[in-house]
């Protein structure tokens, strides 16, 4: 028996996916039972690097997700629409779905999983985070017995490539970005990567799986890397740190906060050089998971690219095929034929859901939203760089202002001059983010302080 | 519905397993459906750090594996017997089995999986390699769609701890081993770790999964670390390498060898400092998998310890419970009642096996044995240290002998003196192992050469 795949999209990842499916020898034998049955593309006339079955290619993507013979729909077109609508329609027609689309899942995951649970189908998304690195499956399965304390990831290859080159070459952000765009490592519009939106999508997905609750994307605090300067990278280096764009989700109890709230954030971070994440260079990704009783485990690999991402996509297809084989069936009958005919996505219902026959580690059944602590309540160390007038007593004034707000300083060093101004770098001990910003507000009123060009958190 | 667990052994890992099962809150909800039903120990009177259900503890381990109410048998007693017999008897009584026992699986995996396939039960072993690191599940599932080229692991924490301390302290093997024994990081009889037997068991298991064939343990070439000296570590460091005990399985085609043979070996290896495995320190483990199209992925984490290993054990139990739930059943009926009553393990049969209802990614269905290339046919770089008489022309003679056997030298350096002898370190380019040894045989006959104290391969 073959499982019929409806592939939506034949870009880089879609082509990589087709290449694996069309050339199964030497892979898991089950790959031979996966058949590329239909392929949806914008332009069916275009010449493709893969030899697809005659008649499989169409520009009518709706006809694929409603095709009664398709078992599994693979969505690799990306973007929000029509991806979201096609996924929902596939679900309402009883198809299992595999997607690489972090943007859709991070924004519409609740709607999609409600529909999938109601229809009794799987929606798998290994490729959405970390490219080929197996991290979604391990979080659901191997690590699920742990109480997860934190998930910390370098999950955006573009920004890691830029920061790595800034580090090794002492180059400035704008120059490296321009070079990365020329090499194809950064998009023409780099906002999604450089401003941390992509990483925020990914940590929302990882946190949802790790902590077993839904995440609202707007709850993820987010800062990009465009403010990171060559000077900061050099100072961080002297202090024993490298600067990485980290995506962090953790469940740390504060003494004055007995509630079980998550902290979710994406920002450039000073990482101690001895930390496992410090050595992750270039376009590689890594995800570090800490839990009880496992301790720390890390997953490392290529975070993007046709081959790695296609590997993750096909592994999801394989997992669905395997579960269907062991359960002895192919497809759910989906929701009522009426709903399906009306082409309406399933309505959102209130639980419990009738999902008794789905594999419980491959579904997404949690319904509540995680409580998120505001960034002001974060406790962290800070690195800050000040430009001040070159006068005696400035360091004393900075120290006094920090002290007024309970901010304890680890080091305060005048590192040199920038034009007429003296440059001072401060590293704090653990402080409450809100207190630190109050201290900065006071410092900004000081006559001797010109500006605070850099403000970074320390892991 | 609860899944009834029969736990064999209540040592470190067994206790850690019980602790997770008895305290399910904050973990995957399915953990609440796992019930510690019976526990087999040597001495039931002993006080334990876990509060077990009254009457659960027994010293009659056979009564657990034959108990009709037990769904899943968890074997964490270790060693070869009675572990092997208990596993086989559990299988013949239709129990699914979870084991952390690499020694049993590496030696009797064929017998055990034949029996399991015939009985229609799962035998999972995530904890057998890499402690808590999820590597078995990813190899079976997420990475299974790849054509695996190599699996390279630091899979023995004791030897990695010893080599790391030798590296950081410049200490000698014997001193660090004694210290490690005092700290409990090495056994009183360290042979299994230090001589590479444990790592050989583990690479045999990993290779079997990665390359989809059975492995005979005696086909794994094996060298331990007791010959590694502080001097070698220092010279390697100068050359840009760290020395690690690597377990390596790869499927590399040689030009003159068109057959599809594996290379399986455990030996101390010079690893370039920039390689991902070079920075794995202390008791940590890491497994690097390279495949097509995924490229390189690495899994890193604690390779041993009660908590991490128990995490892996319970994740296997969870996986079985999840598959059984989705398939709508609890237990296989096992082999014929007659066989079960006679307490005989299932006879080994010849295939195909009737395992249509098992989840194909959680079973082990391959029947053929992998073809293994002998170590003489390996192509690798070498590091060798020579003690020679302090005479002009010695380096020329070494070079000539290597040249006579087609061994191409990358560097040859007189590093200093050891007593009356000059010490010379040679690093080769890629050479055939057999040719290199023929060159060494010739060199040993040279009057000016005293000895070859070190011979290590380079990654």
pLDDT in tens, B144-179: 999 999 999 999 999 999 999 999 999 999 999 999
Instruction: Compute the distance between CA of residue A382 and CA of residue A267 in angstroms, rounded to an integer.
Output: 12
Mean pLDDT of chain B: 90
Residue A322 and residue B361: Cβ atoms within 8 Å?
Answer: yes
- Look at residue B338 in the predicted model and tell me its pLDDT: 40
Q: Can you give the pLDDT at residue B304?
A: 87
pLDDT digits (tens, 9 = 90+) for A302-322: 988 999 999 999 999 999 999
Residue bearing the bigger pLDDT, B252 or B214: B214
Q: What is the mean pLDDT of chain A?
A: 90
- Return phi, psi of residue B80, to 5°: -85, -50
Query: Quick check: B413 pLDDT over 70?
Result: yes
Contacts of B325 in chain A (CB under 8 A): 356, 359-360
**Tell me, what's the pLDDT at B184?**
86
pLDDT for A256: 54
Q: What distance in Å separates the CA atoms of residue A261 and residue B376, rounded to the nearest whole number?
A: 59
Quick one: pLDDT band at residue A334, thresholds 50, 70, 90? Answer: very low
- Shortest Cα distance from A115 to chain B (angstroms)? 19
Task: Give me the percent of chain B exceeding a pLDDT of 70.
Answer: 92
Instruction: Spell out which residues of chain A touch residue B361, defining contact as CB-CB under 8 Å.
Output: 28, 30, 318-319, 322
Which chain A residues touch B117 with a CB distance below 8 Å? none
Distance of CA A356 to the CA centre of its chain: 30
Residue B344: is its pLDDT beyond 70?
no
Phi, psi at A145, each rounded to 5°: -80, -5
* pLDDT above 80 for B347: no
The whole model's pTM is what? Answer: 0.91
Whether A373 has a pLDDT exceeding 80, the answer reads: yes
- Shortest CA gap B400–chain A (Å): 42
Residue among B294, B313, B317 with most chain A CBs within 10 A, to mutate: B294
What pLDDT, on a 0 to 100 scale, did the predictor assign at position A365? Answer: 78
- Please confirm whether the linkage preceding A82 is cis (ω < 30° from 0): yes
Task: Find the mean pLDDT for residues A139-145.
Answer: 92
Query: Is B97 marked as a binding-site residue?
Result: no
CB-CB under 8 Å, A322 with B19: no
Task: Give the whole-angstrom CA distance, residue A365 versus residue A208.
Answer: 11
Residue B281: which pLDDT band, with cuts at 50, 70 and 90?
very high
Cα A412-A417-A422 angle, rounded to 5 deg: 55
What are the residue ranges of helices labelled H in A270-385?
A: 306-327, 337-341
**Lowest model confidence (mean pLDDT) among A359-363, A376-380, B49-53, B205-209:** A359-363
**A323: its two tokens:** 């579960």
Question: Cβ of B328 and A145 within 8 Å?
Answer: no
Cβ-Cβ contacts under 8 Å, B362 against chain A: 322
- Residue A258 has a pLDDT of 54
CA distance A316 to chain B (A): 7
Closest CB to B137 among A138, A311, A312: A138
More confident residue, B142 or B286: B286
Least confident of A347-356, B44-53, B337-346: A347-356
The pLDDT of A219-244, averaged and rounded, is 95
Sequence-distant (6+) residues with CB within 8 A of B100 are B13, B75, B76, B78, B125, B127, B128, B309, B312, B313
Task: Give the pLDDT confidence score for residue A363 in this predicted structure.
Answer: 87
- Specify the pairing of strand A123-124 against strand A263-272: unpaired
Q: Considering only CA atoms, give the Rg of chain A.
A: 25
Is the per-residue pLDDT at B383 higher than 70?
yes
Q: Does the annotation place A102 within a ligand binding site?
A: yes
Q: Least CB-CB distance to B315: which of A142, A308, A318?
A: A142
Region A35-42: mean pLDDT is 96
* Residues of B in Cβ contact (< 8 Å) with A145: 20, 27-28, 31, 311, 314-315, 318
Which pLDDT belongs to residue A349? 34
Among residues A124, A33, A75, A64, which one has the least CA distance to residue A322? A33
Please enumerate in sequence order all residues whose Cβ is within 8 A of that of A394, keeping only pairs 6 or more positions apart, or say none.
Answer: A388, A422, A424, A448, A449
**CA distance linking residue B246 with residue B287, whole number of Å:** 10
- A12 marked as part of a ligand binding site: yes
Q: What is the mean pLDDT of residues A139-146?
A: 92
Of the candidate ranges B102-106, B307-311, B373-377, the one whose mean pLDDT is the lowest: B373-377
Cross-strand bridge partners of residue B287: B153, B299
- Contact (Cβ atoms closer than 8 angstroms) between residue A194 and residue A225: yes
Taking the C-alpha atoms of residue A377 and residue B359, their distance in angstroms, rounded to an integer, is 46
pLDDT of A97 reads: 98
Contacts of B117 (CB under 8 A, 6+ apart): B353, B355, B358, B363, B364, B365
A62 appears as a binding residue in the annotation: no
Q: Do A20 and B293 touch (CB under 8 A)?
A: yes
CA distance A75 to B456: 49
**Smallest Cα–Cα separation from B336: which of B112, B95, B96, B118?**
B118
Q: Is the pLDDT of residue B250 over 60?
A: yes
The torsion angle over the Cα atoms of residues B107, B110, B111 and B115, rounded to 10 degrees, is 140
Tell me: the pLDDT tens digits for B229-242?
999 999 999 999 99
- The residues of A that are catalytic are 202
pLDDT tens-digit readout, A143-201: 999 999 999 999 999 999 999 999 999 999 999 999 999 988 899 999 999 999 999 99
The pLDDT assigned to A386 comes to 96
Choose among A301, A315, A328: nearest Cβ to B357: A328
Q: What is the pLDDT of residue B326?
A: 83
Q: Between B65 and B350, name the one with better pLDDT.
A: B65
Structure confidence at residue B325 as a pLDDT band (50, 70, 90) = confident
Residue B253: its pLDDT value, please?
59
Q: Which two tokens stand for residue B41?
A: 């120990």
Residue-level pLDDT at B257 = 52
Instruction: Give the model's pLDDT for residue A266.
Output: 98
Query: pLDDT value at position A1?
Result: 61
- State both tokens at B2: 């609860």
Nearest to B359 among A141, A292, A326 (CB): A326
pLDDT tens, residue by residue, A54-102: 899 999 999 999 999 999 999 999 999 999 999 999 999 999 999 999 9
Are B16 and A138 a contacting pair at CB < 8 A? no
What is the structure's pLDDT at A95? Answer: 97
Q: What is the pLDDT of residues A386-407, one digit of tens each?
A: 999 998 899 999 999 999 999 9
Mean pLDDT of A367-384: 92
Instruction: Give the pLDDT confidence score for residue B364 in this predicted structure.
Output: 83
Which of A3, A32, A146, A292 is the best substitution to test chain B (most B C-beta atoms within 10 A)?
A146
Closest chain A CA to residue B260 = A26
Chain B residue with minimum CA distance to A209: B28
Q: Residue B96 in contact with residue B331, Cβ under 8 Å?
A: yes
Around Cβ B138, how many Cβ atoms within 10 Å?
Answer: 26
Which candidate from B311, B326, B357 shows the least CB-CB separation from A359?
A: B326
- Nearest CB among A30, A295, A307 relative to B295 is that of A307
pLDDT at B328 over 70: no
Which residues from B are below 8 Å from A322, CB to CB? 359-362
CB contact under 8 A, A322 and B145: no
Report the share of chain A in percent with pLDDT over 90: 82
Contact between residue A48 and residue A64 where contact means Cβ atoms under 8 Å apart: no
Q: Kindly indicate the confidence band of residue A337, based on its pLDDT and cuts at 50, 70 and 90.
A: very low
Cα atoms in the 13 Å half-sphere on the side-chain side of A404: 13
Sign of the four-CA dihedral B231, B234, B239, B243? positive
Q: What was the pLDDT predicted at B258?
A: 54
**Strands A3-8 vs A72-75: parallel, antiparallel or unpaired:** parallel
Chain A residue numbers with beta carbons less than 8 Å from the beta carbon of B30 are: 144, 360-361
State yes or no: is B202 an active-site residue. yes
- What does the block give as tokens for B389? 């008489």
Residue B274 assigned ligand-binding role: no
Indicate if the pLDDT at residue A331 is higher than 70.
Answer: no
Alpha carbon of A24: minimum distance to chain B alpha carbons (Å): 8
Catalytic, out of B4, B202, B238, B397 = B202
The angle, 0 to 180 degrees and rounded to 10, between the axes of the packed helices B394-404 and B433-444 is: 140
- In this prediction, residues A132-141 reach a mean pLDDT of 94
Name the phi and psi angles at B170, rounded to 5.
65, 20
Residue B360 predicted with pLDDT over 90 = no
Cβ distance A295 to B315 less than 8 Å, yes or no, reads: no
Reference A384, options A246, A279, A248, A227; nearest CA is A227
């Amino acid at each position: 028996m073959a499982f019929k795949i409806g592939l939506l999209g034949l870009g880089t990842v879609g082509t990589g996916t087709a290449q694996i499916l069309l050339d199964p020898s030497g892979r898991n034998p089950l790959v031979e039972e996966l058949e590329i049955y239909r392929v949806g593309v914008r332009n069916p006339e275009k010449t493709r690097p893969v030899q697809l079955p005659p008649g499989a290619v169409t520009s009518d993507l709706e006809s694929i997700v409603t095709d009664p013979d398709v078992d599994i729909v693979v969505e690799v077109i990306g973007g929000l629409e029509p991806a979201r609508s096609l996924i929902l329609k596939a679900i309402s027609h009883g198809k299992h779905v595999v997607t690489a689309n972090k943007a859709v899942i991070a924004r519409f995951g609740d709607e999609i999983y409600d529909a999938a649970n109601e229809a009794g189908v799987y929606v798998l998304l290994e490729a959405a985070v970390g490219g080929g690195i197996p991290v979604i499956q391990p979080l659901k399965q191997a690590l699920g017995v742990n109480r997860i304390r934190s998930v910390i990831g370098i999950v955006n290859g573009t920004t890691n490539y830029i920061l790595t080159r800034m580090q090794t070459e002492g180059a400035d952000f704008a120059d490296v970005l321009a070079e990365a765009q020329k090499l194809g490592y950064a998009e023409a519009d780099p906002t999604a990567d450089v401003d941390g939106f992509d990483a925020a999508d990914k940590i929302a997905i990882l946190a949802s799986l790790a902590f077993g609750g839904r995440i609202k994307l707007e709850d993820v605090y987010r800062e990009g890397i465009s403010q990171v300067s060559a000077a900061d990278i050099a100072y961080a280096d002297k202090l024993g740190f490298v600067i990485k764009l980290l995506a962090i989700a953790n469940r740390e109890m504060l003494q004055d906060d007995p509630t079980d709230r998550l902290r979710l954030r994406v920002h450039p971070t000073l990482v101690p050089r001895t930390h496992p994440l410090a050595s992750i260079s270039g376009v590689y990704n890594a995800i570090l998971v800490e839990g009880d009783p496992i301790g720390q485990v890390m997953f490392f690999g290529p975070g993007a690219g046709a081959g790695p991402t296609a590997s993750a996509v096909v592994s999801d297809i394989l997992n669905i095929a395997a579960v269907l084989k062991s359960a002895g069936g192919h497809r759910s009958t989906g929701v009522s034929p009426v709903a399906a005919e009306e082409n309406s996505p399933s309505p959102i219902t209130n639980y419990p859901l009738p999902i008794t026959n789905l594999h419980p580690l491959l579904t997404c059944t949690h319904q509540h939203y995680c409580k998120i602590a505001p960034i002001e309540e974060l406790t962290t160390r800070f690195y800050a760089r000040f430009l001040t007038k070159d006068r005696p007593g400035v360091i004393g004034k900075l120290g006094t202002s920090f002290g007024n707000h309970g901010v304890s300083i680890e080091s305060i060093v005048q590192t040199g001059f920038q034009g007429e101004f003296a440059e001072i770098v401060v590293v704090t001990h653990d402080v409450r983010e809100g207190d630190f910003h109050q201290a900065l507000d006071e410092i900004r009123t000081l006559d001797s302080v010109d500006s605070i060009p850099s403000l970074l958190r320390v892991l």
